Every structure is written in structure tokens, then in C-alpha cells.
Structure 1
Amino acid sequence: AEKLLGVNMNYWVTVDFNGFKRIIDALGGVTIDVEKRMYYEDPWDNLVIDLRPGVQKLRGADAIGYVRYRDEDGDIGRIERQQKFIKAVMQQVTQPSTIANLPTLIKELYGAIHTNMSLSDMISYAKIFNNAREKGLRSYMVPGTPAYINDVSYWLPDMVALKKMMAGIMGTNFDDRAMAAAQQQASEYQQYIPKEMVIPKQEDKPKELAKNKDGAAAKTPPQPTERKTAGQTAPAKIRAEVINASGDSDAAAQMVRELQRQGIEVVSTSAARTPARVTTVIDHTGNATVQKKLNNLPFDYNLSILGDGAKGAEITVIIGRNYN
């Protein structure tokens, strides 16, 4: 993971299914809006997922079912649900009543996880949840493409797009030297891809990728185009076009107010013809200063770094159904 993302990781934590159940049950369950009917039965794995739509509190076994459920949206849809669930857990953990009990809770659940952190380290790091409550949690998806070996699905990262995305997240420059290093790493990565792996052509890609015409596409961020003019200097001001794909007619006006409070000028608003599930912000500049500004946006979104130098607006905000 360190080599893939280019980020040093001093600590790691893993959890198996049983540990996951123990953690969720210790929290008293997690409240989440199950978006649709979910039913799946696998007698070989002794697994039954049986969830009905609506806001509800999921405890251990049902929570496992929610994050494991795989539908017509494939692995990408499942990843979205897992990200949604993690955010719901964070909301639960960052409640003042929970934060006060975190040291005791960590002691009880230390045996449910695998980690290189000591118990005292974990307790000392519990204070970061106060910051998480104030600043929120952002999630990103590794840009890439699906691939298959004997009908088993895999996700192949686009190393160049990933490195460019990470530069934006970390606030570092993605210059020609960084581009050359990313291309070299991409070339090395290609050598390890098994020969029997099948990468579908664009027209043959699974439904979950082909249907991303509405901006919900944030499932797979658009691949950045490499233009030397984009991202070299920060714009004097950030202009935004807002596209409302949430189905809520009031969402656009609310988004305009939030962007204006962040010092972003809204130059146009429009309604999308088709809905989007996830709010997406597209950065047309590829500029680290712009991306640092976007990190302060007070709502959940997926970031796509296009870097195409589009005229008229530095960013495009596509409002999805998850907005507020």
C-alpha cells in the first residue's frame, strides 16, 4: 500500500469478519439508510443476507451482510456501500457520548483486531476522533479499470492517474519529474499482470462502468489528460458550474450558498437529465492549490481530477442524491 499510494504508513490495523461483528455490536449497532432490498444466500459459505430498504440500525451480522452485498453494480457498488458504512460508523464514534467512552471501548475491542499499534498508542490516538467530528471524513477511489481471470473480478489501478490524484490530496506538485516516475512505475506494474488476465474493451465493460453518463461516475474518476498548461499556476479565483442531479430542486440553491461561503464564484447552474447517486466535484485545473481549497468543502463528495483546462469554470459540481 505504501508503494502504491506513495505514502508512508507507520501503523496498520486489520479486522476479520468476527472482529468486525464484535466492533459493531460494541457500538450498539450503526444507523444507516439501506438503499434497496438486499437478499443473497450462499449455503456453501453459510451466508444469508436479508435486508429491507430504509433507515435502520444494523448490528454485527446484518452489518456484515450490508458491506458484503454485491449487486448489478459489481465491486464498485459494493465499495460505495462500504465507504457509506464507514462514514456512518465515524458518525457514531464521533458522538460526544461515544468519544467519552472510547478508551474503555478500545480496551474491550483490542483483541478483535490485528495491528502493530500498542494498546496505549490506540488510546492516545483516540483524540483524533474529535478532529474527525469537526472536519469530517473524505474517501477516494483508486482510478483504474476492471479485469478478470476465470470470471473472478479484479481492479487494475491506473498508476499515473493515481499518482496525480494523490498529489492533489497531499498538496504536492505533480511536475514533469513526478510524471516520469509515475510512468516508470506504471510500466513496472504492467510486467506483473498475469497473461491470463482479461481486460474488457470499453464497449465490453460491465454495466456499472458503462452507465456512468450522469456524473455519478465518480465511481471511476476520469483519467487526467496530460496538458502542460493545466495545473502550472493557481487561478486568481475559482469559478464553478453546478449541475443538480439530486432530484431535489432546492439542492442547487443550497449548494450555491455553500460554495459562495467558501469564496467560490458560481457562474452557472443547471439540472441534469438523469440522477446521480454520489456528489462529484471535477477539477479542471489539476492544480494543487485548487485541490487544497476543495478539501475544505463542507459536504461529502468524490473528487475527479480531470486537468483538461476547460474554459468558463475551474470546477464542476454535480450534486448527487447523497447531498445532505
Structure 2
Amino acid sequence: MSDSGDSDVSFVLYKERPEWRDVVPVREDDGPNPVVVIAHSEKFEDVYDYFRAILKSNEKSERALQLTKEAVELNPANYTVWQYRRDLLKALGTDLRSELDYVESVIRHSPKNYQVWHHRRVLVEWLKDPSLELELTGDALLQDPKNYHAWQHRQWVIKTFGLYDHEMEFVENLIVEDVRNNSAWNQRYFVVNNHLGWSDLNVQKEVCYALEKIKFIKNNESAWNYLRGVLLHDKRGLSGNAVVTNFCEELYRNKSVSHSPYLLAFMIDICDEAIKKGEISSLHGPERAIELCHALATKYDKIRCKYWNYVSEKFKKVKKELDEKAEKEKTELED
């Protein structure tokens, strides 16, 4: 959708239409000293001059509704046009089903436009009918699996109308197709968090699911992040889940596999949690964390070496405090 194209050949300017002679167009006012003057086509200026005029007079008519359609085609992201169109729909008692069809066509041309998705949401709220939304968002996500607005609309529809029944299947298909699709992983978390719940059984099921996907691709940040999110709901935490810690250690010992920076970062988090819980061991202590930070800073994640060196310094301070405490306790025992 733009202000030029083949349709312009048959387009008649509003200022040349007899039925609009009663309307005085309102020119855009950029002030006496505009910083940047945007060059618009004659069609764009004509349509928006007349739109400003009906907005000013608050005209509620079929011709005004058609004018908003012209304005949307020229600039689908204009909030004022969409809001006035909604006012017109209410005032005129327009068939909202036909409006849904129209909005779908706009979405297909402008799928990442927040305003059109918001307009769609209002229509669904008015109709109290979400029956078309999963298919619509599904089609949009087939075109672009990471379309934020489509995901946002889908989550709203599912949560508002309780349409969870087949969502896990939908998400699973997306993850199978692209295991690095962070949006699909986020949707999986959304379904469990808002519908299935974080029972001990579900936590362990999701842990196992994430681990299986990590086995498939070790360097998949999305799966590692999902695992970390799931373990927030495990009363044992990151460091207390033996399945996870054993998996990480086995992966770390496998020299035939390049060390994933996400694996090492996860192991550092395990060490950090173990230290805070006072459950320090040779595998989950400051020395191990320092070793892992060094590996990341010098080999596996050199682009963020300053960050890992910073984290390492934190663990060195912890180690120093623990060493001083141990020395003090040893001295007191000897005395």
C-alpha cells in the first residue's frame, strides 16, 4: 500500500468530485518553519486534506467511511484514521463481518502494522467472536514466524477466549520446522504458564523437552533460555535438578562437541545459585565458575570477553571471602 501505483490511473481527486464540493479541504499545517518537509504525491495530499476536513466537521457518512479506506491505503499506520474509522463504523451500524474481511486484506499487505492489528482486536471484542483469529494469525506466522504483532494478537485471543486446546500442537510444528524460533519457544512457555500450569510433572516434562532439543542443536540459545525459564518453577532450582546438572556435565565432558557458550553460561548460573544456597562443591563453586568465565572470555565468547571478565571478578571476590573464612575457622580451631 502506497501513494502511487496502477490504481492511480483511474483515481479521481476528491477536489474534482462533484459530490465533495460542499467540503473545504484542510491543508496540512507544519508551522511557519518546518524542520523537515515531507514530499507527498498529489493523491496523498488530496486524500488527507479531505480527511482532515471531515475530521474537523465530525462528519459521519458512508462517503467519510470510504475516504478513511483511501487514507488507510496510503498510510496504514495512521492511528487517527483507524480511530475515526471505528467511530464511523459504530455511528453507521456498518456490518462488522465485512470489516473483518477488509482488515484481513490490509493485514496481508501490511502484516507488521500495529494499528491494523489493534483495529482487528477491537472488532473481535465488539463481535465477541474469535473464530477466525487462529487461522489468520497462523497464516501470518507461516509467512513470518517471528511477526511480533501476529503473536501478540494470537496470545490475546487465546487468553481472552480460552482457545488453548490445540496450541501446543501448533507450537510444536513451528519448533520442529525451526528449533531456533524464539517466538515459538516463547509461545510454548505462554501455554504452560497460562493453561497447563507448573506442576512438578509438567516442569519435568518441559525440562526433558528442552534437553532433547538441546541434544539436537547444542548452540541453540532459545532452548537454553527456555530451560532456564522452566527451572524458575522448579523448587530445586537450577543447581538442585540432578537431571539438568548431570546433562550439563556430560555435555561439558564430551570433547568431540565444541563447547556451547550457552552451556557454559548456564553452568555459571548453576554455580552462582549453588553458592547463594550454600551448597558449594567442586563442580558448583567459585573456582569452577572462574574457570568457565575464563573459557568464555578467551575462547568461546570472546566478543563479550569484558563481561565475562567482570563476572569472573565477582567470583574471585567470593572465593577470597570463602578462603579467608576457612582460614579464620582453622586458626580458631588450632587455638
More strand by share: 1
Normalised by the size of structure 1, how large is the TM-score?
0.23
More helix by share: 2
**Higher relative contact order by CA 8 Å / sep ≥ 6: 1 or 2?**
1
